[in-house]
Amino acid sequence: MKQLIDKYKAVVNSVFELVEQTWMMYEEDIYFAGLLYSNCEKYRYGGGFVGVCGDRLFGVVNISYRKERRDYPLHNALVNNYYSKLPAISYAEMSLLERGKTMIGIKTFYPQKGGENVYVVTPRESLNDIARKFHIPSPGLRINLESMYVDIELSINKHRFAIIHNGYKAYLEGKYPQGFENSPAACAITDAVVRITTDAINLYEDIVNRGIKFVSIYLLY
């Protein structure tokens, strides 16, 4: 998991550094440009935008992306030429697309608005399959990469506990069955969560790389 966190940090830093070097755009603009030049379906949503990328979602929400900004020409060009022409998607439609999946927090621009501004939603079938294999309820799962926090909530027999990863190490919290920490179930569940997290980071990285490429071309002209 630490390798995934390091990869995530490198991608986040690449966005921040480009914004700091140019002063022509916001971080959101790199995400929007990347989504724009991806194969995802694109929609206006939650004051920002969302991409439906097969069975995954990439969202940047709880912002005011439509607003034009003085001295930010790239942002204004993206808003006027592309964002304003996107169709909107409703909250109900998004709820259906997110149902049964895991939301992974990526980045927060405006903490005062509550929740993450950038997130990825990925399928969790692999985790559900593991639960069925070991005849246990499907675990709850909360992941926030910015906080370097993973919480896998489990209920086995009368035991309620969690596998926590804080970005540096994993540990068990609560009353867990004896021997669980080295059990095949614990290993399988952890591996499934790593795959889910990897899937989310790969989508995030792809969007960012496409956005950086777009911005680099824009700067040349």
**185 near 130, Cβ under 8 Å?**
yes
Coil, helix or strand at residue 197: helix
Beta-bridge partner residues of 36 = none
212, two tokens = 């950086």
124, two tokens = 């969790």
Sequential pLDDT tens for the chain (221 residues): 778 888 999 999 999 999 888 888 899 999 999 999 999 999 999 999 999 999 999 999 999 999 888 888 889 999 999 999 999 999 999 999 999 999 999 999 876 666 679 999 999 999 999 999 999 999 999 999 998 889 999 999 889 999 999 878 889 999 999 999 889 999 999 999 999 999 999 999 999 999 999 998 888 86
**Total number of domains constituting the chain:** 1
Burial label, 64 (beta-carbon count in 10 A; 0-12, 13-18, 19+)? exposed
Angle between helix 27-36 and 2-22 (nearest 10):
110
Coil, helix or strand at residue 93: helix
> What is the rounded CA–CA span in Å between residue 103 and residue 106?
9
Domain containing 53 equals 2-220
> What is the rounded CA–CA span in Å between residue 6 and residue 189?
21
